[in-house]
Amino acid sequence: MNQFVGTGVALVTPFKKDKSVDFDALERIVNYNIDKGVEYFVVLGTTGESAVLTNEEKAKVIACITKANNKRLPMVLGVGGNNTADVVTQLKTIDLSDFEAVLSVSPYYNKPSQEGIYQHFKAIAQTSPKPIILYNVPGRTASNMLPETIVRLANDFKNVIAVKEAAGDLVQAMKIIQTAPKDFLVISGDDMIALPMTLSGGAGVVSVIGQGLPEEFSEMIRLGLKGEVKKAYGLHYKVANSIDYIFEEGNPVGIKAVFHKLGLCRLDVRLPLIEASEELQHKINCFMDNL
């Protein structure tokens, strides 16, 4: 699964002033990231505001990205939720032919036990026609998928190929890297510690800021994978402030402000999120000007 080594980006869903999906802007963002060197796309994740899109809109977003990408980069589709039976049904019915894998989040809100998390992903692994990337993000799910559970799933199901690890805990990430099967990929889901995770033996990142700064961020990860520590950290500290900024008022509020500065899409998000404040826009605009 070397196609998922490097920088994947969790694509936003741009909106027009009336909050309808801006497909022209989405196409621009896809081409911008391909031209600037990212390795793969993650479609309809949290950053894509999938929680506030209708099923019809999701289908159109998938179609737009697929057409714009034109098989140039591998694609991963977000298929997850806290209703196991519903996720299984989705995996049986969604056309996954254009995707190389699915990204599935650990169940949120329900706060299952570790055994419950295992059984949830067991049902998904036994159903999915595509390889599975687990997604651990305790800040959103209110439960942490422990290294033991992740490694157990990796050992028990050959189609569980990776984890997007976004607990923000480097020690936890290192424990997974240490104990997981040799070919299992540990992918950072946290932009700020993406480089140290990569240097510790991780496979790279699924990034938010990476789609706004694709040239710098993907090169940083490539340098990390090659063990060129000094050069890699030079880029890390060059972009670090922007990572803090884009999450200051929620995701994807900040990254859309980056795209607005680049002229790629509007600031608009859907409620309950609201567009970036003037103060945040000023910070991001100054950062981009100085970069």
Beta strands in 87-170 (DSSP E): 101-105, 132-136, 160-165
Domain that holds residue 215: 2-236
Angstrom distance (rounded) from CA 165 to CA 21: 29
Angstrom distance (rounded) from CA 124 to CA 114: 15
What pLDDT, on the 0 to 100 scale, is given for residue 103? 98
- Number of folded domains that form the chain: 1
Give the DSSP letter of residue 106: P
What pLDDT, on the 0 to 100 scale, is given for residue 156? 98
What pLDDT, on the 0 to 100 scale, is given for residue 58? 98
What pLDDT, on the 0 to 100 scale, is given for residue 272? 98
Cis peptide before 196 (omega within 30 of 0): no
Residue type, 279: E
Span 57-74, pLDDT tens digits:
999 999 999 999 999 999
What pLDDT, on the 0 to 100 scale, is given for residue 133? 98
Q: Is residue 90 part of a domain?
A: yes
List Cβ neighbours of 181 (8 Å cut-off, separation of 6 or more).
Answer: 151, 154, 155
Q: Is residue 268 part of a domain?
A: no
Q: Is residue 185 part of a domain?
A: yes
Q: Is residue 170 part of a domain?
A: yes
Angstrom distance (rounded) from CA 15 to CA 1: 33
Q: Is residue 242 part of a domain?
A: no
What pLDDT, on the 0 to 100 scale, is given for residue 119? 98
The pTM (predicted TM-score) of the whole model is 0.96
Tell me the catalytic residues.
Answer: 135, 164
CB 121 within 8 A of CB 145: no
What pLDDT, on the 0 to 100 scale, is given for residue 126? 98
What tokens were used for 232?
A: 């890699």
Q: Is residue 283 part of a domain?
A: no
Cis peptide before 252 (omega within 30 of 0): yes
Span 107-150, pLDDT tens digits:
999 999 999 999 999 999 999 999 999 999 999 999 999 999 99
Q: Which residues of the chain have pLDDT under 50?
A: none
CATH of the domain at 64: 3.20.20.70
What pLDDT, on the 0 to 100 scale, is given for residue 190? 98
Q: Is residue 89 part of a domain?
A: yes
Q: Is residue 232 part of a domain?
A: yes
